[in-house]
Amino acid sequence: MIGDAEIKEMQEHIAEMEREIAAKKKALRDAKYAGLHAAMQARKEADEAVKQELKELGIKTSSLNFPLDFYWKF
């Protein structure tokens, strides 16, 4: 029969393995989406650069980053 000490040791081992699994899942998720995060950050920086350039040119923009002084030509 399994003693209390062995059961406690098994529970601690299982808990440690669960922590390792959680850490590995997080690392996998971070690696999986690293490219997406980098692309989103690059887009954010590019949007900020465009916004700054439009501001320096004196072009007013709306909250959607759409130039208000732009006239559509058809």
pLDDT for position 66: 60
Name residue, tokens 């980098």. Answer: 38
pLDDT for position 62: 62
pLDDT for position 68: 56
pLDDT for position 55: 86
Spatial CA neighbour of 53 closest among 64, 41, 65 = 65
- Kindly give the parts of the chain with pLDDT less than 70: 61-74
Q: The whole model's pTM is what?
A: 0.53
Alpha helices in the chain (DSSP H): 4-32, 34-57
Residue 62 contacts residue 68 (beta carbons within 8 Å): yes
